[in-house]
């Protein structure tokens, strides 16, 4: 059994409901093996505790689901937005309709999606843009390829209610052009199928999530450079990741069952500051 799974079993056999901070500290030394170079386990522990404290509803979620989301962030080298404010990843609570229990889910943010795609090193440029009522926009395809024209109206009102569509344009290093557009109704359809449609970034950062949605569609259609790292991030987007260690065992499958963690009011969120 892998080291992480062993630590998980020890916590489960303790027979008590440990504090979230204790669980993070118990497994943090083993997390280094799945993190990119330069991302330290100690930093992950503080990041996870900070996210937990800043999102009170996570206290209602199962401990394994929270830790799995934190490990997903670590494996991708993306910190939750509640910690760094960069909109790269989110850890949000939702109710599992099948089990009736609260679980944490990992949501890949627009900036996180952009960063993962750019890590391929195969892009010359990448742009996503929302188009609003009053903007001039057109795109067409002929024998020479795809073309588009966009001229924003800076005086026109912006915001979710005025958005018409969102598009992606990317230039590849080999000279290829990638273009994809989605109507607002298509974006709203994706949002409606999301477990986080009524909370989180879909409500606070709708336009950024619209841009992420066209990015994800382009990736799923094979239009953007693919890598194992990006595929893993997209596959676990808006889900509770099932993380396995180097021996194929579930990392957090046995941590304190499904019981919520205790409060962490006495634990500093960042750098030892209360």
Q: What's the rounded Cα separation, in Å, for the pair 252 and 123? A: 36
Q: What is the DSSP string of 29-90?
A: HHHGGGSPTT--HHHHHHHHHHHHHH-GGGGGSBHHHHHHHHHHHHHHT--BHHHH-SSSEE
pLDDT value at residue 157: 92
pLDDT value at residue 3: 45
Our CA dihedral for 228, 234, 236, 239, rounded to 10 degrees, sits at 180
Query: From residue 24, how far is each of 28, 170, 244 by CA, in Å?
Result: 6, 39, 16
pLDDT value at residue 147: 94
Pick the closest to residue 20 from 30, 55, 1, 35 (CA basis): 55
Q: What's the rounded Cα separation, in Å, for the pair 41 and 74? A: 9
Max CA distance (Å), the chain: 69
pLDDT tens digits in sequence order for the chain, 274 residues long = 444 455 555 555 554 445 777 777 777 776 666 665 676 777 777 777 888 888 888 888 877 788 788 878 877 888 888 767 778 888 888 888 888 888 888 888 889 889 888 888 899 999 999 999 999 999 999 999 899 999 999 999 999 999 999 999 999 999 889 999 999 999 999 999 987 788 778 888 899 999 999 999 998 898 998 776 677 777 777 677 665 555 555 555 544 344 444 443 333 333 322 2
Contact 17, 261 (CB under 8 A): yes
Pick the closest to residue 17 from 57, 47, 50, 62 (CA basis): 62
pLDDT value at residue 272: 28
Q: Which residues pair with 145 in a beta bridge?
A: 142
Counted residue by residue, the chain has a size of 274
Q: Is the pTM of this model over 0.85?
A: no
**170-176 own/partner pairs: CB under 8 Å, 24+ apart:** 170/123, 170/125, 170/126, 170/127, 170/218, 170/224, 171/123, 171/124, 171/125, 172/122, 172/123, 172/124, 172/225, 173/121, 173/122, 173/123, 173/124, 174/122
Contact 73, 203 (CB under 8 A): no
Query: From residue 40, how far is each of 31, 88, 107 by CA, in Å?
Result: 9, 18, 22
pLDDT value at residue 50: 83
Helix, strand or coil for residue 126?
strand
């Amino acid at each position: 059994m892998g080291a992480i799974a062993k630590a998980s079993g020890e916590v489960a056999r303790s027979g008590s409901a440990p504090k979230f901070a204790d669980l993070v500290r118990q497994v943090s030394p083993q997390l280094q093996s799945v993190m990119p170079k330069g991302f330290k386990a100690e930093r992950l522990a503080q990041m996870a505790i900070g996210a937990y404290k800043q999102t009170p509803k996570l206290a209602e979620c199962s401990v394994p689901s929270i830790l799995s989301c934190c490990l997903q962030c670590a494996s991708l080298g993306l910190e939750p937005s509640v910690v760094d404010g960069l909109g790269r990843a989110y850890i949000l609570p939702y109710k599992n309709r099948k089990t009736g229990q609260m679980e944490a889910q990992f949501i890949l943010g627009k900036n996180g999606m952009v960063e993962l795609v750019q890590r391929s090193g195969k892009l010359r440029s990448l742009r996503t843009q929302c188009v609003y009522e009053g903007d001039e926009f057109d795109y067409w395809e002929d024998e020479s390829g795809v073309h588009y024209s966009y001229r924003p109206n800076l005086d026109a009102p912006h915001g979710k209610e005025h958005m018409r569509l969102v598009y992606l344009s990317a230039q590849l290093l080999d000279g290829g052009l990638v273009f994809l557009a989605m109507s607002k109704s298509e974006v709203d359809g994706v949002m409606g199928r999301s477990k986080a449609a009524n909370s989180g970034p879909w409500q606070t950062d709708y336009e950024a999530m619209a841009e992420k949605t066209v990015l994800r569609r382009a990736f799923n259609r094979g239009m953007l450079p693919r890598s194992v790292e990006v595929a893993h991030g997209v596959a676990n987007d808006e889900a509770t990741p099932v993380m396995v260690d180097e021996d194929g065992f579930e990392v957090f499958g046995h941590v304190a069952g499904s019981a919520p963690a205790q409060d962490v009011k006495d634990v500093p969120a960042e750098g030892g500051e209360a």
